[in-house]
Amino acid sequence: MLFSPSPLFVTYTTIYIVELEMPSYLIFSPHAILDPIDFLALQSIRKSLDDLPGSNYFASWDFTSEPCSFGGVYCDGDKVITLSLGDPRAGSPGLTGRIDPAIEKLSALAELTIVPGRVNESLPQTLDLSFNHITGSVPRSIGTLPTLSNVILCHNRLSGTVPSFVSQSLIRLDLKNNNFSGSLSPVSLPLSLQYLSLSSNLLAGPVDRLLYRLNRLNYLDLSMNRLSDCIPGNIFTFFGGSGE
């Protein structure tokens, strides 16, 4: 009897060798790896801003390397604590674009510097850096941004005087729970303001002339300061009024 040989079944296993492209600093850096949230926030900021011709501010912002070595970026461990946007050297053309709202994700940010006059076009309408540990004074350049409608810097460690704000679109200013001191100029805040909270600071001096101008307010909190003089009686007719 003839026997046919049994079929030989061979199972092939294909092994794929995949080379993953990872930033070199994630593999070889002896330093702490930057928090992924901070990493993505820096990427968003980079995408929203560009160097003007002749400026090299972003030349070092190569995301295949350690972000804490970028120009203007300073870290403590795995968190960004200081961010300076723009080349401070005299004559630098500066940056163009807008400040991405992702900057709010830098939860350990203690110092933010925006070089005056360096960021233009499509400027932000809301700046919210509340509940951080930001120290120092508010850059004067913040007050000159013409499109701001909301500035929320409450619950930080900011000091110095309250800067003047020129935006006639500003409707909300929240600076409570900081260390602002000095007096408030009668013309430091725009007539468009509807919400003003300056409580729990070290502000002093009269406020009657300032409040008399702000006839569109519907929320006001000046408690826990060292303010003097009287509150104008007609301020109580402002709240809920038309502002005209």
**Could you tell me if 93 and 74 lie in one domain?**
yes
Task: Please report whether residue 56 resides in a domain.
Answer: yes
Asked if residue 173 and residue 239 are part of one domain, the reply reads yes
Task: Give burial (CB, 10 Å; 0-12/13-18/19+) of 181.
Answer: middle
Contacts of residue 212, defined as CB under 8 A and 6 or more positions apart, other chains included, come to 232, 234, 235
Task: Give me the CATH number covering residue 30.
Answer: 3.80.10.10
Q: With contact defined as beta carbons under 8 Å apart, do 236 and 214 qualify?
A: no
85 beta partners: 114
Same domain, 37 and 154: no
Q: Do 196 and 233 belong together in one domain? A: yes
pTM of the model as a whole: 0.59
Residues 6+ apart with CB under 8 A from 7: none
On whether both 90 and 156 belong to a single domain, the answer is no
Confidence check: pLDDT of 145 > 80 = no
pLDDT of the residue at 31: 52
Task: Specify if 213 maps to a domain.
Answer: yes
Q: Say how far residue 5 (Cα) sits from the centre of its chain.
A: 77
Q: Considering 114, 144, 172, which residue would you say is the last residue of a domain?
A: 114
31: DSSP letter:
S
Q: For residue 206, what is the enclosing H or E element?
A: strand 202-206
pLDDT at 107: 78
* Cα–Cα distance, 126 to 172 (Å, whole number): 9
Q: Which of 123, 161, 163 is nearest to 143 (CA)?
A: 163
The region that residue 182 occupies, defined by phi over 0 for left and psi between -120 and 50 for alpha, beta otherwise, is left
**9, part of any domain:** no
16 lies in some domain? no
Q: What percent of the chain has pLDDT over 90?
A: 37
Q: Are 103 and 129 in contact (CB under 8 A)?
A: yes
Domain extent, residue 174, equals: 123-244
Look over the chain and give the mean of its residue pLDDT values, rounded to a whole number: 78
Q: What is the distance of C-alpha 204 from the center of its chain?
A: 27
Fill in the DSSP letter of residue 41: H
* 76 & 151 share domain: no
Pair type for strands 49-51 and 95-97: antiparallel
4 is a domain residue: no
Q: Is the pLDDT of residue 64 over 70?
A: yes
Cα 124 versus chain centre, distance: 10
CA distances in angstroms from 189 to 40, 130, 156, 243, listed in the order given:
35, 20, 21, 16
Of 46-50, 95-99, 198-202, which range is least confident? 95-99
- Tell me the mean pLDDT in the region 65-86: 90
Residues 104 and 182 in one domain: no
Rounded Cα distance, 22 and 52, in Å: 30
Last residue of a domain, one of 114, 142, 161: 114
Higher pLDDT, 86 or 214: 214
Q: Is a pLDDT exceeding 80 seen at residue 194?
A: yes
Task: Name the domain count of the chain.
Answer: 2
- Mean pLDDT along residues 133-152: 79
For 172, phi then psi, to 5°, come to: -135, 125
Q: How far apart are CA 67 and CA 42, in angstroms?
A: 8
**Which of 198, 208, 132 is CA-nearest to residue 161?**
198
